[in-house]
Structure 1
Amino acid sequence: MTENIQKNEFEGLIKSGKPVLADFYAIWCSPCRMLAPTIEEIHSEYSNCFETVKINVDENPELTERYGISGIPALLFFKDGREVFRMSGVQTKERIISAISEKMGESLV
């Protein structure tokens, strides 16, 4: 999992062809810390299907503004270079994977 990816790296990654799950977070954010183990688990189990990146909103204000992040944690999923869904707040692994499966058009479960 790529931690604290920067703007140029991120733009290149979402255009690379492999789907990307982006976790917008902040170190001081309690719900973000609650979600972190779930994101790590998803990365461990599904890294062959899609990339997982963490974007620190405090260190990447340009990306945060560009994608209209107003609350964290925020999960954005990109396929073929464009955002196909987003979720805010703490989510279950099952809900995240279900949404990704739906957008990828294949079962990941």
Structure 2
Amino acid sequence: MATTAKETYGDIINGTKPVLVDFSAEWCGPCKMMAPVLKELHNMAGDAIRIIKIDVDKNPQLAARHNISGVPTLMLFQQGKILWRQSGVIPAQQLMNIIRQHAVLA
């Protein structure tokens, strides 16, 4: 029986597809407000981008690596490069505009 390797965070952010990473925490009210925003963004962007959520309490080393001091913090990566970063709640349409401005969409 063949096993499939689990995709790592590094694999995801180093890919050619733009990746929006939402650094958040379960206890964070504004982070909860981002869930429907990210769903709307996914509906707008489809498969052109990837959206992943990282819980800073469950991944403290990753949060420290990116100097996350407040949540939610959103970061846009493509091919391992940080293209954009901002903390706070951002509307889906504004996020889509930011992604179009900074990333190369297939």
State the Cα distance separating 1:45 from its structure 2 match: 2.8
State the Cα distance separating 1:47 from its structure 2 match: 3.3
For 1:36-63, what per-residue CA distance to the aligned partner results, in whole angstroms no more than 9, with x for missing partners? Answer: 1101221233231111100000000011
Aligned to 2:34: 35
Normalized against structure 1, the TM-score is what? 0.84
Counting aligned pairs with the same residue, the percent is 37
1:97 paired with 2:96, answer yes
AA in 1 matched with 2:92 = K
Runs of 5+ unmatched residues, structure 1 = 1-7
Is contact 2:45–2:96 with CA below 8 Å preserved after alignment?
no
Aligned to 1:66: 65
The 3-state SS of whatever aligns with 2:57 is coil
State the Cα distance separating 1:71 from its structure 2 match: 0.6
Provide the alpha-carbon RMSD of the alignment. 1.5
State the Cα distance separating 1:18 from its structure 2 match: 1.3
Normalized against structure 2, the TM-score is what? 0.86
For 1:6-46, what per-residue CA distance to the aligned partner results, in whole angstroms no more than 9, with x for missing partners? Answer: xx711111112211000000111000001111012212332
AA in 1 matched with 2:11 = G
The 3-state SS of whatever aligns with 1:47 is helix
Give the Cα separation in 2 of the matches to 1:35 and 1:95.
13
Structure 1 stretches of 4+ moved >4 Å: none
Give the Cα separation in 2 of the matches to 1:67 and 1:25.
13
- Superposed counterparts of 1:1-109, under 5 Å: 9-104=8-103
